Structure 1
Amino acid sequence: MSRHFAVFGTPIAHSLSPRIHAAFARQTGIALDYVAIEAGHDDFAMHLAAFADNGGHGANVTLPLKESAFALCSNTSERALRAGAVNTLLRDGDGWRGDNTDGAGLLRDLTQRNGLDLRGRRTLMLGAGGAARGIAPTLLDAGIDALYIVNRTAQNADALADLLGDPKRVHARYLDDLPALGEFDLIVNATSATRGGELPHLPMSMVGRRTAAVDLSYGEAAIPFLAWARANRCHDAIDGLGMLVEQAAGSFEVWHGVRPDTDLVYADLRAHTDSLVTAD
């Protein structure tokens, strides 16, 4: 009998998660169905409750609901607790257990697929929402030298810096500070602003000889930031497609106890998304 899974977020029609989990299911021989459910802050709790009432076993959560999902959990994993955000839900009795596979997914993609050594990198993260919260603890654990968090809303950057609890390495700054911050070895775009085609002014002075620029988005949403990175001669320009596949594999493992192979799934999605961008 198939178990029921879903991904919640808005906008959600573009989500590749149903395609990814269908591929994992074929690979592992696990029977499941997986659908995308449109939900915003105001109606997420209602949609999640309806999903549970209809036999929902597990779910992914994407923008902008990761912090809301954390608040709805009856218990969480240690990595979700550190992040204060959840991207993976597992039915646990009458409630939900929350986990966060974003950081582990990003780390696998950057270090194993793209061959980056994150140790000692002076790092800038644009954004302080659920996506940023999911990856920040992992970046610190991976040995980055310092993490500067820049966000349009200053108090959100301050709140994330406080949550991480590492004042020697973590620093909250504001957009107006960017020209004075110097070079970074790693720049991560964890904001959703570019989904609307908006990109804050990013000075060329932030780019050094080994700077890697990483966007957590993929497809059209990643184009503005990656175009900036290439124009300013960043050593690496990486989108979030690999992270998407790896965090999905992490969720699949939480739900089913088996980790699927990601290489073929990633290759299929890379060809698919590249063809869509080229067609546009």
Structure 2
Amino acid sequence: MALFTVFGSPIAHSLSPQIQLEFADQFGLVNEYRRSLSSPGRFAADVAYFFRHGGSGANVTVPFKQQAYQLVTHTTLRARQAGAVNTLMGRGAGQVLGDNTDGLGLVADLRWHLAKAQVGDLSGKTVLLLGAGGAARGVVGPLLDAGVARLTVANRTEAKAADLVDRFADSRLAYCSMNELPAADIIIQATSVALQQQALTLPANLAAQAVLCYDMSYGATPTKFLQWAAANGCANCLDGLGMLVEQAALSFALWHDGLLPDSRAVITKLLERNTNE
């Protein structure tokens, strides 16, 4: 039996164990997947202890993604681009590989919903990304690779957005403050406000002009960002459940020699379960 975990704070709400066990069932595998509550001061020791005591792989959620990048001994290109890690894989002798599957998970879910809504593909779309922390860092590269026409990163601390943009040499990428937000086809909420049950102050006309508004957080009720988007005329308002499952599928494949599970089947099952509860 292989041992996996997800590190986070808070962590009780995480669906990662349920998702990963659903993936394992698809291939007849018997895995153990835990939740691991940690803190910034304990995180490095917790990761070392996990892999020293038989851990095979781990997911990393807020607020540890950038801290995880500093801990690992090996990184993938997309992790280096982001400067943040959401997936860890033990390689023995104290070696740990860090990857970032967030962006590819987001791209997969956005493409699925854009096709369902019959509003085209990501290619050629303009995107406004709210936030420049660990959650946002992992999605910039994959969004650019998907062919977006323009990607603007907005953050309350403008210097943080500028730092993220500077990691990429791409003329389609720009940054701005939260006071000068441009209109965009797709608006992605990647700040921590949803977890804190707070609301961003955003111009109403932004939602009306967007074909899709997406909150990378997920939950049983719409976040305040999604409530704002729906109230101001956006027809497609989505939370991050699909992204969560899609990025988890890529983590699973990394841990299991390329076995890629059926992510949409698990998303459907989770949505049905939420509807019946």
In the superposition, the TM-score normalised over structure 2's length comes to 0.93
Residue 216 in structure 1 maps to residue 221 in structure 2 = no
Structure 1 residues 209 and 201, CA, compared in 2 at 3 Å: closer, same or farther? closer
Partners of 2:149 and 2:220 in 1: how far apart? 31
- Give the alignment of 1:73-222 within 5 angstroms: 73-93=72-92, 94-115=94-115, 117-166=121-170, 168-178=171-181, 181=182, 183-220=183-220, 222=222
CA displacement 1:66-124 (0-9 Å, x = unmatched): 11111111111111111111111000122110111111111111113542511222211
CA contact (8 A) 1:150 1:174 kept: yes
RMSD: 1.6
Aligned 8 A contact 1:7 1:61 in 2: yes
Q: Deviations over 1:143-193 (max 9, x none)?
A: 111111111222211110111222x22112111223xx3x21010001111
1:266 is aligned to: 267
Deviations 1:178-225 (A, max 9, x none): 3xx3x2101000111121121111102223545210111111575211
3-state SS, counterpart of residue 193 of structure 1: coil
Higher share of residues assigned helix: 1
Distance 2:109 2:207 in 1: 22
Structure 1 window deviating more from structure 2 (145-154 vs 8-17): it is 145-154
Residue identity in the other structure for 1:260? P
When residues 67 and 275 of structure 1 are mapped into structure 2, their CA distance, relative to the original with a 3 A threshold, is farther
Whichever residue aligns with residue 273 of structure 2, its letter is H
Q: Which runs of 5+ in 1 are unaligned?
A: none
Equivalent-residue separation in structure 2 for 1:133 and 1:235 (angstroms) = 27
Aligned counterparts of 1:32 and 1:98: Cα–Cα separation in 2: 21
Larger mean Cα displacement after TM superposition, 116-125 or 93-102: 116-125
What residue is the counterpart of 2:48 in the other structure?
49
Q: What amino acid is aligned across from residue 119 of structure 1 in structure 2?
A: S
Cα pair 2:114 2:121 within 8 Å, conserved: no
Letter of the 1:98 partner, please give it: G
* Equivalent residues, number: 271
SS at match of 1:248: helix
Q: Which residue of 1 aligns with 2:24?
A: 25
Equivalent residue letter for 1:78? L
Query: Any gaps of 5 or more consecutive residues in structure 2?
Result: none
**Identity score, percent:** 44
Structure 1: which amino acid aligns with 2:67?
S
Maintained 8 Å contact 1:101/1:250: yes
SS in 2 for 1:184: coil
Measure how far apart 1:254 and its partner are: 0.2
**Aligned residues of 2:8 and 2:60 also touching (Cα < 8 A):** yes
The one-letter code matched in structure 2 to 1:89 is: L
